[in-house]
Amino acid sequence: MSEHYFLAVPLPIHIKELLDDYSKKWYSKLPFKKWTYKDDFHITLSFLGPVTYTKCVELMDHLQKELDGFKSFDLSIQQLGIFGSDLQPRVWWFGLKNSNELMNLQIKIRNVCEEIGISIEKRPYNPHITIAKKYNNMLDKKFEVPLRWEEEALNFKVNEIVLYKIQPSNKPSYLPAESIKLKI
């Protein structure tokens, strides 16, 4: 049986707490149906979809070799954005300062996935951290989703990537299955 998986950059606990505090300020003010649970904040590198355990083992073995020597790097959360229309966005997210290291990591992962036969999304990679999704358009009011980051940038180091198993009916919904440490 295949379960659904994705590869992601995990966030440090203190960053998750700060993001959760920020999103809670808006929870009662914005009509999204689904808000990200604190422990589920992450930066997706590649959504894998339904994958067997055997294929996950193969993937992680190949990634371990491909990422041997890939150095840890810094990221900075410093913006907000949406996917979808301004009036009824599908997703509201935290954005990152451009990072060549993150883009190179994602390309390496995409290449390994393709090499071993895991089909992944063809859309351009847009790294982000989902705050909320599924805008509730049943309300007659007009809402403005904040798109201006007025906080200090949140900086952290990326030391690993994690293979997460999706468990939609649980909280947290994303269970770490395996990880690969990056070189310090």
Matching residue, tokens 């993150």: 102
Query: Which candidate in 4, 14, 62, 128 is catalytic?
Result: 128
**Known active-site residue 14:** no
Angle formed by the axes of helices 100-115 and 53-66, nearest 10°: 130
Task: Show the tokens assigned to 91.
Answer: 């997703």
Q: Tens digit of pLDDT per residue, the chain (184 long)?
A: 569 999 999 999 999 999 999 999 998 888 899 999 999 999 999 999 999 989 999 999 999 999 999 999 999 999 999 998 887 889 999 999 999 999 999 999 999 999 999 988 888 999 999 999 988 776 655 677 888 899 999 999 999 999 999 998 899 999 999 999 999 8
67-71, long-range: CB < 8 A, 24+ apart: 67/105, 67/108, 67/161, 67/180, 67/182, 68/183, 69/183, 70/105, 70/108, 70/182, 70/183, 71/101, 71/182, 71/183, 71/184
Domains of the chain: residue spans and CATH: 3-181 (3.90.1140.10)
- Pick the closest to residue 30 from 42, 38, 40, 22 (CA basis): 22
The pLDDT, as a whole number, for residue 79 is: 95
